[in-house]
């Protein structure tokens, strides 16, 4: 017969409030600290599980209602949060962070010790950098000269962001699609090197980074494509970096100790400027290590979008930084901090008209106005449409037509490099991986529909035109989670190969399919996996029922992947409920950044 603690753990695992690994965590802690109470042991498991859901800590005062209902059936679990906190405060499992302990309790927030360390270290690093000026003169005047020599323009917010990034040790720039973040990076790179030349200093060593190989490749390509238009001399142009790397690669990922890197406080990155694109996707642990690896006198520039999905792992950094800077109301009574001088929010989109199509769709999503959103999607704008939900998927005529038309140009390509380029013309995005409208089911639908249309001959696992997404990092092959490739015949031999763009050289490279790390078919992908990508057109397949995954942030991220047109497939009531549901990530970072100010 199970004891009450074991029974409670198993019930929570059955209800998916805990994972199977939490069973062993509780058993291990119980063996190491026999005097620990069942409340503290169960709270430890809940704190670990919170990490899986993207939270940095467990907020003992704000449990999910479904979890509250389950805990109410646990005989030893107190009915009042104050009693839970009192039990934790007296537990030998819990410390205040001064010395290593399994758990750390700060107010009502319960941390695993490692995540308390990450948050503490990151908050200290941000506070040290926030508002710190660099001895850089003439930045505003230098930018004016740069802009005067080109036909490209910059808004007041873009100018502010560029000058801030050139003169502060920390700059955080948040903006949605088409708000000019790439333009900011380009002018910032040129301005920094122009100022170095004008002052007689050596050109700055600059690192361009992104969280994924895909995002790094896009950043490098954007710089390369626009570099020639800069009104600078050849020496300055040559000093602008043309390559970007993943954060893991720059920090020096170590195979045998994957949670540590070569670069850190004792061995900082060899750069005076570190620019990180798609910073919204970076989790707390990696960001803490990045801050620790940037030299104290160097500039660190973070670019991202606070409104899109946060990192898959724990943390919501861009949102926390913008809240701490006072750019939006948090509802938590947290005052703005000195970080306000290091954060800029870009609002104006140069890609979409604000009152129609995708631009209006994005604006209504950010505002949370589902009535206006549904009115916009009723067919008035051809580039933003909501189609009714129809199951089974094979019976959804508009979706099948979108798949056939969307992938026509890709499958009509005459070479692997053309196919890779055309792969960004269209993509189907899903909220879930599994289920009747999940990625697996929609990928199967795409293969069937395209085969029936004569565009595919899916004979076996490997066939011409199969798009691939890498799902596990392989540093030896230089293939990383999220990288996209295509299966295509070798033009010289006719043998099927998996083709990718090499991140270092930008050249096409081919691998035998059998050598690939873990991967999957990518006609459809989750919205999470689409972050850092852009497609000409996007089809978004909504689930039948609202789930914790289907949120306003997910819809915003999905819609904003499209450059020209988006079609949503789902029921209006599901869309309405999704708009009302927000992502909430528990952490203490905002409070730490404003403490004592």
Better pLDDT: 342 or 85: 85
**pLDDT(336) > 70:** no
- What value does the mean pLDDT take over residues 534-560? 86
Please state the φ and ψ torsions of residue 371, each to the nearest 5 degrees.
Answer: -65, -50
∠ CA(133), CA(135), CA(141), 5° rounding?
95
At 534, is the pLDDT very low, low, confident or very high (cuts 50, 70, 90)? Answer: confident
Res 257: pLDDT: 63
pLDDT for 65:
78
Q: What percent of the chain has pLDDT over 70?
A: 90
Q: Which of 334, 342, 273 is nearest to 130 (CA)?
A: 342
pLDDT in tens, 390-449: 777 776 788 888 999 999 999 998 998 899 889 989 999 998 888 888 889 899 999 999
Instruction: Give residue-wise pLDDT tens across range 110-169.
Output: 999 999 999 899 988 888 888 667 766 777 777 877 777 665 666 778 888 888 888 888
Whole-angstrom distance, CA of residue 177 vs CA of residue 563: 9
For the chain, what is the mean pLDDT?
Answer: 83
89-98, 203-212, 365-374: segment of lowest average pLDDT: 365-374
Give the tens place of pLDDT for each residue, 9-25.
888 888 888 889 999 99
Burial class (CB in 10 A: 0-12, 13-18, 19+), 378: exposed
Name the pTM for this structure: 0.82
How deeply is 425 buried, as exposed, middle or buried, from its count of CB atoms within 10 A (0-12, 13-18, 19+)? middle
Whole-number pLDDT of residue 276: 93
Banded model confidence at residue 104, pLDDT cuts 50, 70, 90: very high
- Calculate what percentage of the chain has a pLDDT beyond 90: 19
pLDDT tier at 356 (50, 70, 90 boundaries)?
Answer: low
Whether 347 has a pLDDT exceeding 80, the answer reads: no
pLDDT computed for residue 329 by the predictor: 44
Residue 344 to residue 138: CA distance in whole angstroms: 20
| pLDDT recorded at residue 432 | 87
3-state secondary structure of 352: coil
Q: What is the pLDDT of residue 334?
A: 44
Determine the distance from the C-alpha atom of residue 95 to the mean position of all C-alpha atoms in its chain, rounded to a whole number: 32
What pLDDT score does 38 carry? 92
Angle ∠(444,448,450) on CA atoms, nearest 5: 115
Q: Are 164 and 342 in contact (CB under 8 A)?
A: yes
**What's the pLDDT tens digit per position in 217-229?**
788 888 888 888 7
Is the CB of residue 445 less than 8 Å from the CB of residue 393?
A: yes
Q: Sorting pLDDT into bands at 50, 70 and 90, what band is 381?
A: low
Better-scored residue on pLDDT, 316 or 110: 110
Cβ distance 278 to 497 under 8 Å? no
For the segment 511-538, the average pLDDT, to the nearest whole number, is 87
Distance CA 382, CA 451 (A): 27
Which alpha helices (DSSP H) does 435-580 contain, by range? 439-452, 527-530, 552-559, 572-580
pLDDT tier for residue 330 given thresholds of 50, 70 and 90: very low
Q: Give the model's pLDDT for residue 44.
A: 92
């Amino acid at each position: 017969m199970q004891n009450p603690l074991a029974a409670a753990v198993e019930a929570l695992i059955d209800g998916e409030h805990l994972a199977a690994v939490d069973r062993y965590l509780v058993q291990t802690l119980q063996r190491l600290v026999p005097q620990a109470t069942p409340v503290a042991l169960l709270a430890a498991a809940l704190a670990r599980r919170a990490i899986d859901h993207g939270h940095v800590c467990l907020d003992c005062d704000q449990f999910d209602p479904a979890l509250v209902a389950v805990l109410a059936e646990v005989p030893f679990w107190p009915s009042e949060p104050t009693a839970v906190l009192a039990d934790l405060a007296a537990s030998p499992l819990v410390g205040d962070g001064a010395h290593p302990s399994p758990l750390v309790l700060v107010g009502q927030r319960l941390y695993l010790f490692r995540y308390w360390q990450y948050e503490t270290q990151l908050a200290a690093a941000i506070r040290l950098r926030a508002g710190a000026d660099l001895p850089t003169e003439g930045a505003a005047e230098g930018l004016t000269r740069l802009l005067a020599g080109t036909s490209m323009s910059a808004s007041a917010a873009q100018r502010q962001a560029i000058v801030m990034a050139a003169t502060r040790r920390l700059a955080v720039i948040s903006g949605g699609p088409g708000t000019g973040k790439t333009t900011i990076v380009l002018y910032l790179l040129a301005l920094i090197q122009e100022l170095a030349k004008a002052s007689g200093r050596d050109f700055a060593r600059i690192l361009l980074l992104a969280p994924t190989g895909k995002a790094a490749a896009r950043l490098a390509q954007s710089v390369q494509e626009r570099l020639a238009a800069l009104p600078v001399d050849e020496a300055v142009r040559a000093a602008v970096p043309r390559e970007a790397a993943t954060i893991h690669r720059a920090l020096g990922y170590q195979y045998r100790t994957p949670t540590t890197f070569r670069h850190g406080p004792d061995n900082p990155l060899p750069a005076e400027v570190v620019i990180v694109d798609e910073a919204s996707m970076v989790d707390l642990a990696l960001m803490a290590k990045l801050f620790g690896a940037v030299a104290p006198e160097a500039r660190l520039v973070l670019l991202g979008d606070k409104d899109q999905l946060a990192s898959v792992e724990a943390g919501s950094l861009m949102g926390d930084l913008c809240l701490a800077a006072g750019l939006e109301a948090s509802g938590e009574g947290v005052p703005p901090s000195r970080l306000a001088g290091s954060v800029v929010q870009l609002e104006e989109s140069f890609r979409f008209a604000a009152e129609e199509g995708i631009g209006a769709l994005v604006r209504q999503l950010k505002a949370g106005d589902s009535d206006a959103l549904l009115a916009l999607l009723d067919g008035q704008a051809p580039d933003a449409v909501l189609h009714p939900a129809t199951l089974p998927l094979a019976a959804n005529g508009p979706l099948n037509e979108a798949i056939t038309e969307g992938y026509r140009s890709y499958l009509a390509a005459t070479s692997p490099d053309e196919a890779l380029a055309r792969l960004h013309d269209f993509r189907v995005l899903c909220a879930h991986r599994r289920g009747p409208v999940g990625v697996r089911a929609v990928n199967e639908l795409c293969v069937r529909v395209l085969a029936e249309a004569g565009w595919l001959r899916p004979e076996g696992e490997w066939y011409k035109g199969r798009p691939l997404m890498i799902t596990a990092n392989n540093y030896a092959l230089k293939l990383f989670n999220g990288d996209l490739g295509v299966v295509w015949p070798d033009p010289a031999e006719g043998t099927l190969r998996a083709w990718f763009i090499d991140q270092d050289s930008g050249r096409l490279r081919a691998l035998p399919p059998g050598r690939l790390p873990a991967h999957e078919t990518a006609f459809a992908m989750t919205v999470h996996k689409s972050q850092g990508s852009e497609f000409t057109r996007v089809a978004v397949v909504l689930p039948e029922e609202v789930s914790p995954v289907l949120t306003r942030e997910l819809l915003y991220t999905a819609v904003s992947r499209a450059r020209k047109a988006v079609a949503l497939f789902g029921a209006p009531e599901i869309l309405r409920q999704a708009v009302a549901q927000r992502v909430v990530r528990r952490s203490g970072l905002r409070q730490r950044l404003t403490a004592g100010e």
